[in-house]
Amino acid sequence: MLLLAGLVAPARAAATAAPTHRFEIGSDDFLLDGEPFEIRCGEVHAPRVPREYWRHRLQLVKAMGLNTVCAYLFWNLHEPRPGEFNWSGQADAAEFCRIAQEEGLWVILRPGPYACAEWEMGGLPWWLLKHDDIALRSRDPRFIAAARDYLQEVGRVLGPLQVTQGGPILMVQVENEYGFYGRDPAYMGELRQALLDAGFDVPLFACNPKEHLKDGYRADLFPVVNFGTDPNGGFKALREILPRGPLMCGEFYPGWFDTWGAPHHTGDTTRYLKDLDTMLDLGASFSIYMVHGGTTFGFWTGADRPFKPDTSSYDYDAPISEAGWVTPKFDQTRTLISAYLAPGEKLPAPPPRNPVMTIAPQRATQVAALFANLPEPVRDDRPRTMELYDQAGGCILYRTQLPAGPAATLRAKAINDVGQVFINGERIGFTDRRSRNYRVELPARTTPVTLDILVEAMGRVNFGVEVHDRKGIHGPVTLTADAERATPVELRSWEIFRLPFDASMLGALKFQPAAATTPAKAQGPAMWSATVKLEQAADCFLDVRPWGKGMVWVNGHNLGRYWNIGPQQTMYVPGPWLKQGDNEILILDLLGPENPVVAALDQPILDELRPTLDFARGRRREVKLRSDFGSPAVTGGFAPGSDLQEVRFAAAASGRFFCLEALDAQDGKPFAAVAELALLDASGRPLGLEGCTIAYVDSEERERMDGTAENAIDGQSANLWHTEWGAAQPGYPHRLILDFGQVRTISGFRYTPRQGAADVTGRIKNYRVYVADDLVRE
């Protein structure tokens, strides 16, 4: 259905005031200056694209056939400290919008206050966590007050760029997928009012996945639905709350994001193109999330719940690759959209690819050992989390003295996120939040020693209640001698060293020539420095395979995190951040490199897992299962197909553990899978899964796909738990056991089967469910 979609592009900002426009929600269509308008949109995050390339990427978006770009604002980037606002450099959102307008694109703005987006804490500022009982994303007055101040500032900076004032901004989103998190329409009302008070007079809207469209719904916020596939199903659900009006998909996923240690995600292009064609044919509006993912530079990566840290590459298998390259998916999308252009509407040619280069291997010769570069400590009787020492991110070192004594187990309530334990500077062991392993065995000590716990924060969880993600040590820290009936002794009087790796800390590091004799790995946690002389400056991909785990700075630009377990093994280096002549490359390696060599490739490596290098070998904690699980809370059979299914128990059951025991599959094959599992509380309402983790799973495919069990409880049905099918194919029964961490009363559950075509493997047929206190023992 051809409409005036593309013909009306925002007037390029001329010297004279650009014309203003009216954008409205019509009874059937979006209306631009009264004319039906179809939004063909793609998501791009300005902070994830080198500022020097914003225009290049936006020209690609236009050339692919889109007429609008959608952009989040990340509160924590724009207000790094209360009342301190940042709208410069990568944070210059107004300039990004102006360039979009100049390139003939309208803008949809998503200012938050919460965004998600695999971004640190979902965009929320860490300093809110200084209130130890704050309830984020709620009408907690402290949250609302801070959010109102921020949105007021957003209005000051971006309000003038609304179409009503000659800019490109068509409409503004309130919050983000709030229905996944809460059901309080008044909370959404507070934010809506804050945006109105901040001067936004274009339409305000809210997005949600189809399962949560009604949660927190308000009639005065235009609803859009997010989905990765099945547009008809998504729009059918939308029509339940929006009987008339334009249909819009607020997030349509061509790929997905990656997390460290799990296989690289690529989207199903055939399905993507078919669904896009369906939406174009329907005359529906859509936004491709992400059309260009880019890179999560600096400390800004988030983590999926319960704790799956995101990679710094945010390539997302998007039509426009991380480095701004046109992909086959781009060409196919351009061709598809070309069939739906309005008469006379033409697509510009895509701009050429930016030059790429390689950098020959060169040894880093200077090193600054972390323990030799510690700042003044703060002293504290008990260790507390980073935020309470006024620290945003990076690392933090906790030090105390231990008397001589027998072998013992060191424990903490939690250590977020990766802990390294040292005795007199010698690394003894690791703690690992991914598997909730917060204990290390200490050897016997014949003399008093110095105990160090170096904790690295890997980005705050960006989804679910886990966004209340305080980093560092959650005490008490205890030592329990390995003797029978030994009682834990709490360790007190600590020195705390804050290691934020900000510009002033980097500037203070004292480098030494790296002794050729000392194996690099033996240097322990250290910053390495190399000066690389370049003939030319062009895009390239730093090869971090010889390195362990840490971060990289190029000429002062923080490229983000790397980790040798993959799947990402290179880091995108934008050409404009390099220069002819000497370039300073700093590499923080918290594990120690195999070989401190700096080199760059002219191609990215985003799909190379190296599980054997994982200090925790990615293994789950060993647990023992109760020999007999007793009588099940329910036994039954699921219906075939991909629809969500709700199962109610005859009588509610209480316990700390919930076990889904799958007995066979719809297709008779040995595989089991779950896209999403939600539990129902005693009154049949969805139970928040805060603090809920995987206690046990008999099998999960972690090599050939990201089939980790956490995918079943991360709130996203676009990923899934899937039993092994690569190296092994263990058969039924399959068990997935959740640990609530406390006793909960359950009256039923909702099972979302694996999504996608009819022939996908893993859809469960018969099952038994157990709820009890002691299904699992350590």
Residues annotated as part of the active site: 177, 251
Minimum CB separation of residue 652 from ligand GLA in Å reads 32
Minimum CB separation of residue 295 from ligand GLA in Å reads 15
Minimum CB separation of residue 293 from ligand GLA in Å reads 9
Closest to ligand GLA by CB, 178 vs 200, is: 178
Element (H, E) at 556: none
Minimum CB separation of residue 764 from ligand GLA in Å reads 25
Instruction: Give SS3 for 140.
Output: coil
Minimum CB separation of residue 687 from ligand GLA in Å reads 21
For tokens 């009006």, name the residue.
245
Instruction: Give SS3 for 540.
Output: strand
**Pick from 178, 183, 180: nearest CA to 147:** 178
Closest to ligand GLA by CB, 90 vs 176, is: 176
Minimum CB separation of residue 691 from ligand GLA in Å reads 21
Instruction: Give SS3 for 584.
Output: strand
Minimum CB separation of residue 399 from ligand GLA in Å reads 37
Closest to ligand GLA by CB, 305 vs 498, is: 305
Element (H, E) at 232: helix 231-241
| Positive or negative: CA dihedral 641, 645, 651, 652 | positive
Distance, in Å, from the CA atom of 6 to the CA atom of 290, rounded to the nearest integer, reads 20
Task: Name, in order, each residue with C-beta under 8 angstroms of 258's C-beta and a sequence gap of 6 or more.
Answer: 264, 265, 310, 311, 313, 315, 567, 568, 606
For residues 328-357, b (16+ Cβ closer than 10 Å) or e, as one string?
ebbebbbebbeebbeeebeeeebbeebebb
- Are 621 and 778 contacting, i.e. CB atoms less than 8 angstroms apart? yes
Closest to ligand GLA by CB, 118 vs 417, is: 118
Task: Name, in order, each residue with C-beta under 8 angstroms of 682's C-beta and a sequence gap of 6 or more.
Answer: 652, 745, 746, 747
Closest to ligand GLA by CB, 116 vs 279, is: 116
HEC secondary structure over 682-722: CCCCECCCCCCEEEEECCCCCCCCCCCHHHHHCCCCCCCEE
**Pick from 182, 158, 179: nearest CA to 168:** 158
Q: What is the dihedral of CA 701, 703, 705, 709, to 10 degrees?
A: 40
Secondary structure letter of residue 671 according to DSSP: -
Minimum CB separation of residue 125 from ligand GLA in Å reads 17
The token duo for 225 is 């639905």
Count CB neighbours of 626 within 10 A: 15
For tokens 């036994």, name the residue.
635
Secondary structure letter of residue 266 according to DSSP: -
State the burial class of residue 723 (Cβ atoms within 10 Å of its Cβ: 0-12, 13-18, 19+). buried
Element (H, E) at 551: strand 549-554
**Pick from 370, 365, 360: nearest CA to 394:** 370
Distance, in Å, from the CA atom of 543 to the CA atom of 359, rounded to the nearest integer, reads 9
**CA–CA distances in Å: residue 376 to residues 497, 528, 590:** 7, 22, 20
Secondary structure letter of residue 737 according to DSSP: E
Instruction: Write out the residues near ligand GLA by the rule CB under 6 A.
Output: 115-118, 176-177, 226, 251, 257
- 317: amino acid identity, one letter: D
What are residue 39's phi and psi, to 5 degrees? -85, 120
Minimum CB separation of residue 257 from ligand GLA in Å reads 5
| Rg of the chain in Å (alpha carbons) | 26
Closest to ligand GLA by CB, 288 vs 421, is: 288
Distance, in Å, from the CA atom of 541 to the CA atom of 560, rounded to the nearest integer, reads 13
Closest to ligand GLA by CB, 116 vs 746, is: 116
Distance, in Å, from the CA atom of 690 to the CA atom of 478, rounded to the nearest integer, reads 25
Minimum CB separation of residue 559 from ligand GLA in Å reads 21
- Are 558 and 587 contacting, i.e. CB atoms less than 8 angstroms apart? no
Minimum CB separation of residue 119 from ligand GLA in Å reads 8
State the helix-helix crossing angle for 269-282 and 328-338, rounded to 10 degrees: 20
Minimum CB separation of residue 570 from ligand GLA in Å reads 21
- Are 562 and 544 contacting, i.e. CB atoms less than 8 angstroms apart? yes
Closest to ligand GLA by CB, 269 vs 478, is: 269
Closest to ligand GLA by CB, 108 vs 532, is: 108
Closest to ligand GLA by CB, 32 vs 117, is: 117
Closest to ligand GLA by CB, 251 vs 698, is: 251
**Pick from 442, 505, 511, 448: nearest CA to 478:** 442
Count CB neighbours of 570 within 10 A: 22
Minimum CB separation of residue 567 from ligand GLA in Å reads 16
Closest to ligand GLA by CB, 123 vs 670, is: 123
State the burial class of residue 712 (Cβ atoms within 10 Å of its Cβ: 0-12, 13-18, 19+). buried
- 74: amino acid identity, one letter: F
Closest to ligand GLA by CB, 287 vs 400, is: 287
